[in-house]
């Protein structure tokens, strides 16, 4: 992508955008996924090199050089920021605003081999809410990815990850008394084997996730034990693709999942161990200068071990399409429908239907603007209760040099439920400005 460079002195328009970025939160922070455990969709690998999105555009004058360590390259990064939230504890009444400061240390070690790949990453994050220490966040992440090429047709990819994470405020899987304070440990591993022959590609993927939830401290001094939410999820997925042309392929996918909870429910109800199966078919494509993505539609069934819970079945959707109106502008549309577990009431599972639209615009080579609108609906299967979440965010990232950048976004989310006793209506707005230094 060719974009005209700005001079040493930014125009008034660019300064205005930078000032707006200084009153906003990082786009990466603003667009946190609402899901807790693991993505339902399997990446389709639709990128065939025919299009380059705004976020993928090469920036040789701004990319970090890293530190060479033998045949590896080390890329360290430090980030610091500050901001505020309008609703610290996600309360429906007596909302309490609070400023916060953030800090992050990140490192990536990547191989420079001609064949095979090995990448190690790690990060430590800290968020301190001034005057509201119960809301403070201490999270970390460590992961490893390896890719082994066995000839020109067969490859094996392995991923390992361990992390401590913050539960999404709008996940819908817990009530709002707990959601803002819930922290959990996540261990994840996957192994994928892929075979490609002429127009056919086949892969088999197995993955495993283990979730362990911390106790939640309340303002009264009491704590809520969440150990009956601890669980493991084992999945296996197979897919076959047939390329009708270099730009278009048809695929069929089948997957099975086994969810097991570590402990009985404190309510005395049976736990919600389950088996699930899903079949999806669709297309993935990469049409030069126009669009790329995948569209998949199928059917899912989730059957619970305990007879007290009804089997859930219905249409499943996984779609993500990127449009390229110009080399400076990328629009991404996403649609998804999936079955999720909940810890509300009788542990009602729910269907999550979600739509999102994101626009990325390169105002200059080193200045990226981003905006997103998002809507999701939760339909609980054991009752007539529904919950709707609306969200929007705007953000910007300015690269000052190869080493320094600033970024931010302003975001707002609102959730309403048709049963106040089930899940109250809440909203939150937040902004942050962040500075990043990398080598």
166-223 pLDDT per residue, tens: 988 677 676 666 778 889 999 999 999 999 999 999 999 999 999 999 998 877 788 8
d(Cα 378, Cα 418) in Å, to the nearest integer?
A: 11
Q: Is residue 3 part of a domain?
A: no
Q: Is residue 373 part of a domain?
A: yes
C-alpha distance from residue 345 to each of 95, 211, 306, 334 (Å): 24, 21, 16, 30
Q: Is residue 4 part of a domain?
A: no
Can you give the residue range of the structural domain that contains 68?
A: 12-438
Q: Which two tokens stand for residue 291?
A: 């669009």
CATH number of residue 223's parent domain: 2.40.160
Give the CA angle between residues 386, 392, 396 to the nearest 5°.
155
Tens-place pLDDT, residues 361-407: 999 999 999 999 999 998 988 888 888 999 999 999 999 999 999 99
Q: Indicate the DSSP class of residue 17.
A: H
Q: What is the pLDDT of residue 22?
A: 35
Tens-place pLDDT, residues 127-143: 999 999 989 999 999 99
Q: Which of 169, 81, 167 is nearest to 423 (CA)?
A: 169
Please give the tally of structural domains in the chain.
1
Q: Is residue 301 part of a domain?
A: yes
Coil, strand or helix at 135? helix
Mean pLDDT over each residue of the chain, to the nearest integer: 87
Q: Is residue 1 part of a domain?
A: no
Q: Is residue 7 part of a domain?
A: no
How does 62-85 read in b/e, with b if 16+ C-beta sit within 10 Å? Answer: eeeebeeeeebbebebebebbbbb
Q: Is residue 5 part of a domain?
A: no
d(Cα 262, Cα 341) in Å, to the nearest integer?
A: 15
Q: Is residue 284 part of a domain?
A: yes
């Amino acid at each position: 992508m060719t974009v005209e460079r700005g001079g040493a002195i930014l125009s008034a328009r660019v300064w205005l955008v930078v000032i707006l970025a200084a009153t906003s939160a990082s786009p990466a922070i603003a667009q946190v996924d609402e899901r807790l455990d693991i993505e339902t969709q399997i990446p389709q690998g639709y990128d065939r090199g025919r299009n380059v999105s705004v976020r993928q555009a090469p920036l040789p004058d701004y990319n970090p050089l890293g530190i060479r360590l033998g045949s590896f390259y080390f890329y360290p990064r430090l980030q610091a920021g500050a901001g505020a939230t309008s609703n610290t504890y996600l309360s429906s009444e007596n909302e309490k605003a609070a400023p916060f400061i953030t800090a992050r240390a990140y490192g990536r070690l990547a191989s420079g081999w001609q064949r095979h790949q090995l990448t190690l990453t790690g990060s430590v994050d800290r968020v301190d809410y001034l005057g509201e220490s119960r809301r403070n966040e201490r999270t970390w992440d460590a992961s490893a990815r390896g890719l082994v090429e066995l000839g020109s047709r067969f490859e094996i990819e392995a991923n390992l990850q361990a992390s401590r994470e913050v539960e999404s405020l709008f996940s819908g899987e817990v009530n709002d008394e707990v959601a803002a304070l819930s922290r959990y440990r996540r261990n994840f591993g996957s192994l994928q084997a892929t075979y490609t022959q002429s127009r056919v590609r086949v892969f088999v993927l197995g993955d495993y996730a283990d979730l362990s939830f911390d106790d939640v401290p309340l303002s009264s001094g009491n704590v809520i034990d969440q150990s009956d939410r601890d669980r493991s999820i084992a999945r296996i997925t197979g897919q076959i693709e047939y390329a009708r042309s270099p730009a278009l392929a048809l695929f069929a996918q089948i997957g099975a999942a086994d969810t097991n909870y570590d402990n009985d429910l404190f309510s005395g109800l049976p736990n919600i161990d389950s088996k699930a199966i899903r079949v999806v078919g669709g297309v993935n494509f990469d049409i030069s200068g126009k669009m790329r993505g995948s569209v998949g539609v199928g059917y899912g069934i989730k059957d619970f071990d305990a007879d007290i819970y009804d089997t859930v079945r219905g249409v499943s959707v996984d779609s993500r399409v990127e449009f390229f109106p110009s080399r400076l502008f990328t629009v991404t549309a996403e649609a998804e429908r999936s079955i999720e577990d909940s810890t509300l009431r009788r542990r009602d599972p729910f269907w999550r239907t979600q739509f999102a639209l994101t626009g990325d615009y390169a105002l200059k080579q080193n200045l990226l603007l981003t905006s997103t609108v998002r809507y999701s609906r939760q339909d609980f299967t054991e009752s007539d209760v529904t919950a709707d979440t609306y969200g929007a965010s705007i953000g910007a990232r300015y690269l000052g040099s190869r080493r320094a950048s600033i970024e931010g976004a302003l975001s707002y989310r609102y959730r309403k439920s048709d049963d106040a006793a089930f899940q109250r209506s809440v909203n939150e707005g937040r902004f942050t400005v962040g500075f990043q230094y990398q080598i």
